[in-house]
Structure 1
């Protein structure tokens, strides 16, 4: 799993241990290099560093109003994970924050385009697919049942695109694509590779600006944000290189909003 090695906190601890054990045998340039890398990793555990990284990635997601005509006739929303095992298909609280944001954004989009199909994509490690619960929530929020469809087999972004492309009856190739702003660049690449002409409709981002002295001090939620952003950079690169298209797992979003 690619993201397991992209935590700045985990990498910093491993680097520190390696340097400590090998300090006597390291040449001076290696020590200095390790120090610089360690400082960068420490910086990425602060809200300042994490949010800068997040902003660089989220800025690459086009806004929904940048979609040229013709208007897509289908809305595809990607699952973002579950916080726990759902007790039923209507256990909406089992969806994590990222999934909920995506559902809310896709429902709001459907209100603007009420004739569009609304498709949720994504399995889960539990018996009930997250896309099933997402679709039920969309129905509870006013999307007509006749407009709803679910794809319940895919476990990765690449498989989301391939599975949605294989739905029967087939979707139009031009679709609205709803996911988090952080995830959008990788998702757009995957859906274009699957033959779609997607228009981005990102859910609200997780970037947060300066908010007092604590913005420059390490915090666990900042490290998680950096890890999520690094995962997106690495994941998109791996797709472009033809790697990990069948084995990567999308990370859970950062729990904090700093």
Structure 2
């Protein structure tokens, strides 16, 4: 129930959808003589807000604390890496199956960096976590698609573990725990987007797995340049959607008791 409720809520609460909805609602209300001034004002305010949030670096300021929460991984070589956990969200599974070729999205670095790690740590297991659930039913699972791609580029199939039931970050941790016993886990790297890492680490800790964060897929730069305005409104709104969803996820998971802390720390 939590899964479906969160998906439906977020469809309407997504900032870009919400802003456009207010514009349309204002225009609709303005058709009434009695409420024309109110409707026009609502549409105007929503339009200005859309332009401002799309061009100003507000979304970068929201995303920055999440991406900087965990430092980039530096291996001191003191202990071996036993495994790599790759969280789904980087591949369009249905499109990949229909095209017969891997179709990645803007989080493709999750897959690319995992390939790099697979070669850097040739003895490490690779657990791919990602199912295919949707609000309207079961879709194509992402993990088997990525696993097939890994096998196709020469990664030993014996190293690959497929977890294809999870639909959420919380389920990623819960189902991954069925493959990894905490007391015998060793050192496992957790690969996901930097902005998603706080929530991911929180649920894995809650599940009893003390993973090592390996953040990738940064959306903001390392310099002060991330405060630059956007050239396109759509770029700013897209980043705003990502930031708002992640903050909402952190709060929702904390309230529901699914994470170890509101904003997990290193």
Give the TM bin, normalised by the shorter chain: 0.7 to 0.9
Change (3 A) 1:56 1:5: farther
**Does the CA contact (< 8 Å) of 1:86 and 1:128 recur in 2?**
no
CA distance in 1 between partners of 2:174 and 2:258 (Å): 14
Say whether residues 1:191 and 2:219 are aligned partners. no
Change (3 A) 1:236 1:221: same
CA distance in 2 between partners of 1:128 and 1:226 (Å): 28
RMSD of aligned alpha carbons: 3.7
- What stretches of structure 2 of length at least 5 have no aligned partner? 1-6, 30-34, 260-266
1:121, distance to aligned residue in structure 2 (A): 0.5
Which residue does 1:119 correspond to in 2? 127
Q: Which of 53, 56, 63 is equivalent to 1:44?
A: 53
Which residue does 2:251 correspond to in 1? 237
Q: Which of 65, 78, 81 is equivalent to 2:74?
A: 65
Q: Which of 14, 30, 35 is equivalent to 1:7?
A: 14
Change (3 A) 1:140 1:38: same
Q: Which of 169, 172, 190 is equivalent to 1:157?
A: 169
- Using the TM superposition, name which of 76-85 and 39-48 deviates more: 39-48
Between Structure 1 and Structure 2, how many residues are aligned?
236
- What stretches of structure 1 of length at least 5 have no aligned partner? 26-30, 246-258
CA distance in 1 between partners of 2:93 and 2:156 (Å): 27
Which residue does 2:215 correspond to in 1? 202
CA distance in 1 between partners of 2:68 and 2:10 (Å): 21
Change (3 A) 1:14 1:189: same
Q: Deviations over 1:90-122 (max 9, x none)?
A: 934334332x32111111112222111011001
SS at match of 2:189: strand
Q: Deviations over 1:151-173 (max 9, x none)?
A: 01111110000000012788716
**Does the CA contact (< 8 Å) of 1:82 and 1:124 recur in 2?**
no
**Does the CA contact (< 8 Å) of 2:96 and 2:145 recur in 1?**
no
Structure number with the bigger relative contact order (C-alpha 8 A, sep ≥ 6) is: 1
Length-normalised TM-score, structure 2: 0.72
CA distance in 2 between partners of 1:176 and 1:115 (Å): 13
Which residue does 1:254 correspond to in 2? none
Change (3 A) 1:127 1:67: farther
Change (3 A) 1:9 1:168: closer
Change (3 A) 1:81 1:155: farther
Say whether residues 1:94 and 2:107 are aligned partners. no
1:127, distance to aligned residue in structure 2 (A): 5.8
**Does the CA contact (< 8 Å) of 1:173 and 1:196 recur in 2?**
no
Which residue does 1:177 correspond to in 2? 190
Length-normalised TM-score, structure 1: 0.74
